[in-house]
Amino acid sequence: MDICSCVAVVCVFTVMWKLSEGREAGRWPPAHGTLVLVLVWVLVWVLVYTVSPVLCGLVLLSCSLRLICVWRRSELLPEQNRAVLITGCDSGFGHALAQRLSHGRVTVFAGVLDVNGPGAQRLRRVASDHLRVLQLDVTDRDQVEAARRDIGSQVGHTGLWGLVNNAGILHCPMDAELLPLAACRRCLDVNFLSAVNMCQVFLPLLRRAGGRIVNVSSMAAAVPMPMFSSYAASKAALSLFSHVLRLEVKLWNVTVALIQPAGFRTNIFGTSDDIRRHKDEILAAASSEAREDYGESYISSVTSSLSKLSRDSSEDLSPVLDDLCHALLSVRPRVLYSPGQGAWLLPFLHRHCPTAVFDVVITTMTKFTDCEPTGLKRS
């Protein structure tokens, strides 16, 4: 056996021992990626070693180093003396993340849109002493500044370890021509500009701790999806901003991570009252020509698709929560996380498939109604 293979064997057995040690302590659940790498390691040894020992040794060494990186990323930092601010905790990802972190030793500041609403009341009932609920409408600069003063007085010189920009809105899937401009501005304000403002306001506290910013974007930021033009544009802006910010604040030992989940069942889809309100807004803002060409029946059928989107989305939020916790507490957090079914596959297809092929795939997947616009029926 050549020296490369010997080194690879030592590396792999060391990694396997560490993984076993982590599982016994309950710290590290085995990942699918690790299993694949182990299988590759075994197959390469069996199939290639008889052909080229040197090549086999190099490949095995590469796989072993990759396994070591996976193991290092599974290491978590101690939770005590760390404070995290999470926006959008009334429901969904923010609500669940605030509960999970507060049941550990992390001090959680949970920003909610309505401090007296049902989401805030649930947090107070089920969360631990490590959680504090804050009134925080991210579009209200006065509330953001009040939260900064409050949190700054509590964390002192230790600083703020984590900022999770989770607050976001979807509005309603609809053809770009029919989207009210006010709804587009609202999406940009909540999903992008408010996150930018939160970063600017809280970075002095984050620098003290050498902390982390975690921005919650969407798979729609990486894939052109019909009916999601304003939402996707706002999330794409947030994604690119996050990548640029990561390069800039690295000098201050501040880390930036981006979460781009697929569809999950949260309150972002709204209620039946929200759907009716969206329909009325769209009809009121559309020009007479657009209303005539699309027709009210088509608009109604598309707005009603929000209920179907919610039903078809995954109810299990744990993939997103696991990635959020990893981004906040891992020794080596990743730059980009893509939790959920199809969250990595669709961006991969968009990058590598011929445009015509991908267009067929994405339009088929995002066909929300069988009703055609009235103008197409006439033609």
CA 15 and chain centroid, separation:
29
Residue with tokens 């939770």: 79
Contact call for residues 12 and 40 (beta carbons, < 8 A): no
Contact call for residues 216 and 168 (beta carbons, < 8 A): yes
Q: Running DSSP on this structure, what letter comes out for residue 211?
A: -
Q: Running DSSP on this structure, what letter comes out for residue 189?
A: I
Which of 49, 231, 294, 337 is flagged as catalytic?
231
**294 catalytic, yes or no?**
no
- Which residues make Cβ contacts (< 8 Å) with residue 312, sequence separation at least 6? 263
Among the listed residues 333, 356, 338, the one whose alpha carbon sits nearest the alpha carbon of residue 348: 338
Among the listed residues 126, 130, 119, the one whose alpha carbon sits nearest the alpha carbon of residue 88: 119
Contact call for residues 92 and 112 (beta carbons, < 8 A): no
CA 50 and chain centroid, separation:
45
Please name the amino acid found at residue 294. Y
Cα(239)–Cα(75) distance, rounded to whole angstroms? Answer: 26
Q: Running DSSP on this structure, what letter comes out for residue 340?
A: S
Residue with tokens 């640029």: 244
Cα(176)–Cα(28) distance, rounded to whole angstroms? Answer: 45
Contact call for residues 111 and 87 (beta carbons, < 8 A): yes
Tokens of 4: 């490369």
One DSSP character per residue, 47-69 reads: HHTTT-HHHHHHHHHHHHHHHHH
Cα(287)–Cα(292) distance, rounded to whole angstroms? Answer: 9
- Provide the annotated active-site residues: 231
